[in-house]
């Protein structure tokens, strides 16, 4: 991982801590660490960022919004592929936004498609 802020947050994650990877439009609550890696619309994508984070963060579960399945099915399919074998919990988008208030950080990507947000719940590697 080349981004030292992401690396630091990942290293600080304990069991069941939440880490959000968001599109460029998700409101980030005041007081939650924002790691803004957005460069341009679509760069970097949510999938690219997810794959990079997963090289360092062991997870036990991921949360995505039901609205993604309905309004951004291509991204949903890509996430299912990347997270094959992991538990994915579907929540309403409003619940996902509330959950960001409990996260260690939000990594804001350049993703420019609707409902392109995911919350990763860290696991235990032993």
For the annotated binding site for substrate, the residues are: 23, 93, 115-117
Give residue 35's region: left, alpha or beta (phi > 0; psi -120 to 50): beta
Largest CA distance in the chain: 38
What angle (nearest 5°) sits at the alpha carbon of residue 33, between those of residues 97 and 123? 75
Numbered residues of the known binding site: 23, 93, 115-117
The closest of 100, 92, 65 to 79, measured between CA atoms, is 65
User: Of residues 8, 11, 15, 77, which has the active-site annotation?
Assistant: 15
Active site residue 15: yes
Q: CB–CB of 117/18 below 8 Å?
A: no
Locate tokens 């939650």: which residue? 32
Residue 29 carries which DSSP code?
P
Hey, which residues are catalytic here?
15
């Amino acid at each position: 991982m080349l981004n030292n802020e992401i690396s630091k947050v990942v290293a600080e994650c304990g069991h069941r801590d939440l880490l959000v990877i968001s599109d460029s439009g998700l409101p980030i609550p005041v007081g939650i660490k924002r790691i803004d890696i957005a460069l341009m619309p679509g760069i970097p994508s949510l999938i690219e960022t997810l794959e990079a984070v997963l090289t360092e963060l062991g997870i036990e579960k991921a949360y995505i919004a039901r609205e993604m399945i309905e309004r951004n099915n291509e991204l949903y399919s890509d996430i299912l592929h990347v997270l094959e074998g992991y538990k994915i919990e579907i929540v309403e988008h409003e619940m996902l936004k509330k959950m960001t208030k409990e996260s260690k950080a939000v990594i804001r990507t350049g993703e420019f498609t609707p409902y392109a947000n995911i919350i990763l719940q860290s696991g235990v590697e032993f």
